[in-house]
Amino acid sequence: MSEIVVGYDGSDCGKAGLDEGLRLAKALGDGIVVVFGYAPPGLWGGEIVEHEEAIEELGEKVMAEARERVAASGVEAEFLMVAKKPSEAIAEAADAHDARMIVVGSYGDPPLRGMILGSTPNKLLHVADRPVLVVPAGR
């Protein structure tokens, strides 16, 4: 059985990506690996501990939502919270699991803005060594 890696952040686009990943996994007989990637705070000062706790709390909430969505599907799944930039976390999980593909939601930004800001889907299209499916929120 192959696996599909799904980047998930709880956004509407992330939900559309997870739903599409589940649909594909069912059709192909695959499992999924749901990844919540987050960059740990740098050395920029401030309340770093509180920031880390807030990120972890958000990640736990987001992954609980993902678990609920996946449970209803019957698809076999693994859930990972990775303290790296989302694109790195997702690409590394895909490599580690020898995933068939990566599925992520688009953020709905105009293409030029995404390129300037360096969105996760845009980065994955350039760094991943396997197919990347980018799903719009309205899917």
The model's pLDDT over 108-125, given as tens digits with 9 standing for 90+, comes to: 444 444 443 348 888 899
Residue 43 burial (CB count, 10 A) = 5
- Domains of the chain (ranges, CATH numbers): 3-135 (3.40.50.620)
Average pLDDT estimate for 41-53: 64
In terms of Cα–Cα distance, which of 136, 104, 138, 119 is closest to 33?
Answer: 104
* Model confidence, pTM: 0.86
Q: Rounded to an integer, what distance in angstroms lies between the CA atom of residue 41 and that of residue 121?
A: 21
Residues linked to residue 36 through DSSP beta bridges, in sequence order: 81
Beta-carbon contacts of 68 under 8 Å, excluding residues fewer than 6 positions away, are none
Task: Give the lowest-confidence range in 78-82, 84-88, 92-96, 115-119.
Answer: 115-119
Angle of helix 86-96 relative to helix 120-127, nearest 10 degrees, comes to: 40
The tokens for 65 are 């939502």
| Interval 59-71: pLDDT, tens | 999 999 999 999 9
Residues linked to residue 101 through DSSP beta bridges, in sequence order: 4
pLDDT-derived band at 55 (thresholds 50, 70, 90) equals: confident
Average pLDDT estimate for 54-59: 86
pLDDT-derived band at 94 (thresholds 50, 70, 90) equals: very high
Q: What separation in angstroms does the CA of 67 have from each of 18, 43, 62, 123, 126?
A: 11, 33, 9, 26, 29
Looking at residue 80, what is its pLDDT? 97
Looking at residue 116, what is its pLDDT? 38
**Tokens 């799904």 found at:** 6
Beta-carbon contacts of 127 under 8 Å, excluding residues fewer than 6 positions away, are 87, 88, 91
Looking at residue 109, what is its pLDDT? 46
